[in-house]
Amino acid sequence: MSSQTKTFKQWQQQANALQIEGRAYIDGQYQDSADGATFADISPIDGRLLAAVADCDAATVDRAVAAAARTFASGIWRDQSPVQRKNALLRLADLVGQHQEELALLESLDTGKTIHESLDMDMQDVQIALRYYAEAIDKIAGEIAPTSDSFHGMITYQALGVVAVMTPWNNPLMIACWKIAPALAMGNSVVFKPSEKAPLTGIRLAQLAQQAGIPDGVFNVVTGGAQVGQALALHPTVRVMAFTGSTQVAKQLLIYAGQSNMKRTYLEGGGKNAHIIFADTPDLARAARFAALGFCANQGAVCASGTRLLVQSSIKEQFVALLIEEVNRWQPGHPLDPATMMGPMIDARHQANVLHYVDSARDEGASIVCGGHADDSIVPGGHFFWPTVIDNATPTMTASQNEIFGPVASVIAFEDEADAIRLANDSEYGLTAGFWTPDIAKVHRVARQLEAGTVWVNHFLTRDILSPFGGFKQSGIGRDLSLHAMRQYGEMKATWIALKDVDAH
């Protein structure tokens, strides 16, 4: 199913017919918060109220963690055969496929992302993640240690227990399944906290998981703000915490983990990623298309975005002209229109924050050569922002150093290869980087020196579940995607069996 098979009007009609659930999901049932509190989930498209969502308190989190711990201890999921767990996750992937239009609409209404991105990209990635980790379950085996003849040494992996998953609002269900799928595949129980700005697809996924045959209590969803994240991070029964969000919050979660039970933490933080255009790039127009994609996709709310465009000075003027031409194709519009390439900011506060960074660049001496302004007239009640190119930026400008999480890129000139590498690495972050060159020797030299978890060469913002994703420095700890991520949700155990009488030492 493609978003292009229906008209704008048809998508609107389908969205208006949705029955939206806003309660938490604990032990196989939708439930209110223990204190009955709710918060308003507002669509960034037009300001409409989507649902009154449970604003869970610590007591509700305790209830969810207790259900997860109880089911883990019972072995009802953990002790199923690998094939049984695999088949349940495959059924869940099938159900996501059957309900992908509903889930995509919930995602677009909740986040403002286009129906094209929600349906044609994110919902496909959700299914890919569920299928990949389902199929991996019975492909991962233990090891035999190369011991002496006196011993038989086994190295095995076993489920850890209760895994807390916390995810952001930009790609809610996709990023969630990057963590939920491998955690469940290893036999753990999960308590999932979606962002309070985009909780709806996570709430719906819980019911689909039950229909797929995942036992009650194995997958739970608690909704709400910072109090929910704090309660999970401090909870002594939670063994693992997997998070994607801001570096600031990730640092606080590390503190909570240390204050409680030293739970294992996998944290993906922010990024201020360098996208380098060398003068020997053979097709500057192609590089400009990828550069525009690299900071305009998903309204710029992508942690991997290439928002520092480092352009060799000899071609900067030519490249910026091509870039502006490409950026002008990214017209903001109503997200349910299949032709729209860019939706609104998540809320008015975020829109104002993006504008603040653009204004700071202007005040610090840069030139705004494209976009640069908020727009609330595109859809009444929505908070849109035109994609923005900041030219003649310097590395120390506020907009060049901070993650903006909006459709804004700073163009910074460099002189030579060494200068480009120095500028690219001049950041507290190290999530992604990319560069363009036909010189294979330069490819290896530059890629080796860039301090980033993912490096793209002659393309940008591409990913595959087969390759791990995560960052260096303050962009995080641990990895999503690939088999490397799956190992994170298992405890390694060494078992030594004496085959002969051995002396005590």
Measured CA to CA, the distance from residue 116 to residue 222 in angstroms comes to 28
* Nearest Cα residue to 11 out of 340, 297, 347, 293: 340
Q: Which of 21, 107, 268, 326 is catalytic?
A: 268
262 CB-near residues (< 8 Å, 6+ apart):
none
Q: Are 161 and 69 a contacting pair, CB within 8 Å? A: yes
Judge whether 303 counts as a catalytic residue: yes
Judge whether 268 counts as a catalytic residue: yes
Q: Are 304 and 432 a contacting pair, CB within 8 Å? A: yes
Measured CA to CA, the distance from residue 372 to residue 390 in angstroms comes to 8
Characterise 75 by phi-psi region: left (phi > 0), alpha (psi -120 to 50), beta (else). left
Q: Are 473 and 267 a contacting pair, CB within 8 Å? A: no
The number of angstroms, rounded, from the C-alpha of 346 to the middle of its chain's C-alpha atoms is 15
Measured CA to CA, the distance from residue 342 to residue 115 in angstroms comes to 10
Tokens 């653009």 sit at which residue?
A: 358
The conformation of residue 342, written as its DSSP 8-state character, comes to B
DSSP characters for 254-270? HHHHHHTT--EEEEE--
Measured CA to CA, the distance from residue 351 to residue 163 in angstroms comes to 33
DSSP H or E segment with residue 370: strand 367-370
Q: Are 326 and 287 a contacting pair, CB within 8 Å? A: no
Measured CA to CA, the distance from residue 188 to residue 390 in angstroms comes to 46
| Residues annotated as part of the active site | 268, 303
